[in-house]
Structure 1
């Protein structure tokens, strides 16, 4: 998959006025306006540029297959969910969960809540109506600007998502989660290597070059998984 390219012979868009905006928000808006992935996502009907991240990971690791059951944690605004629905087809099932409400995505079951709560977990299990083949997590904590603290927070989210995945995956299933530079902590990585045949770190081209964002891709689930 070719990364989108900038148009307009390298010309960039500048906002005419910064009135009422902070310097940080001004820079963010200009970056969005000049981001080829943002433009390509809008043109393709994806809800976010993040859709290209999972598309690129799928191209490399062959994550999706027709007829799969997929759970998307931290799904809002729904870019990854849209890709999952497209890739698994009418015979598949996609359950998307977030703390925030989401607009309807045809072909997906949208749930609102915290997957750590028993009632929400049961709602996901009921919606899946069987074991998951793939659990996705693009969740990220609110950053503090303190690298060590932010790293611990993202590790905590990965661990929570991993424990959830271990409950719902079918043998041979896969798990994809957002991480930050520095990868996953040794104990957490060892846990993944125990439960999965393959564990890789990847930075898809759609992840901004200056970002510390990366992903952990675990495939070939060895555990017992789903207990319906």
Structure 2
């Protein structure tokens, strides 16, 4: 599965201003209608355009392998989970976990709960039937509009996701998490470099150019993994 070719020229759709619609929502709707990744996701039956971010990260780093055990944190609505299920195949074990309810997805175990809850952690390990090969996190907190605050909040969330990953990963496993560009991720990067053989930053083409989001991609987990 490859991403769309967003470079082609097409007709731009403009919406007539609807009564009660704010300028911001007007611009958001126009962007959605003219986004090639949104159109491609709809055409392929993917639950979100974010699926293409994982597809592009995997094309570069080859993280998703047949038969893999994979955890998708903050999975709803399930775009990343769909990609993982396809890549892991029938021998894989895929667990999607989110605070929000998520529609069932064939090939994945869908759990609702807080990944910081020990009960949720145990439920994930039970569903995987062993330690994970890969932990994914496309989670992001609600933004405040204040760049420094939003950066600190998403780095904190990524650090919590890393703590979870360290508990459930098998040796050699991988970890991917969303972060925002900024200068205060030193603690996170130090922890990643301590626990993984390779740490990279990725800005997949599907990530909008005006977005400050990045992904950290860590491979070769050095720990003992889940017991």
TM-score of the aligned structures, taking structure 2 as reference length = 0.96
Aligned to 1:50: 50
The number of equivalent residue pairs is 226
Distance 1:200 1:6, change over 3 A: closer
| Secondary structure at 1:40 match in 2 | helix
Aligned to 2:89: 89
- Listed one character per residue, the Cα deviations across residues 46-104 of structure 1 (whole Å, up to 9, x for unaligned) are 10000000000000000111000000000000000000000000000000000111111
Residue 3 of structure 1 contacts residue 205 of structure 1 at CA under 8 Å; is this kept in 2?
no
Structural RMSD (CA): 1.3
Alpha-carbon distance, 1:184 to partner: 6.2
| Secondary structure at 2:160 match in 1 | helix
Quote the Cα distance in structure 1 between the aligned partners of 2:159 and 2:108: 25
TM-score of the aligned structures, taking structure 1 as reference length = 0.96
Where in structure 2 are the equivalents of 1:54-133 lying within 5 Å? 54-133=54-133
| Secondary structure at 1:189 match in 2 | helix
Aligned to 1:210: 210
Structure 2 stretches lacking a partner, 5+ long: none
Aligned to 2:5: 4
Distance 1:183 1:4, change over 3 A: farther
Alpha-carbon distance, 1:18 to partner: 2.3
Quote the Cα distance in structure 2 between the aligned partners of 1:176 and 1:20: 40
Structure 1 stretches lacking a partner, 5+ long: none
Quote the Cα distance in structure 2 between the aligned partners of 1:203 and 1:51: 14
Consecutive aligned runs of 4 or more in structure 1 exceeding 2 Å deviation: 1-7
Distance 1:74 1:2, change over 3 A: closer
Quote the Cα distance in structure 1 between the aligned partners of 2:93 and 2:47: 19
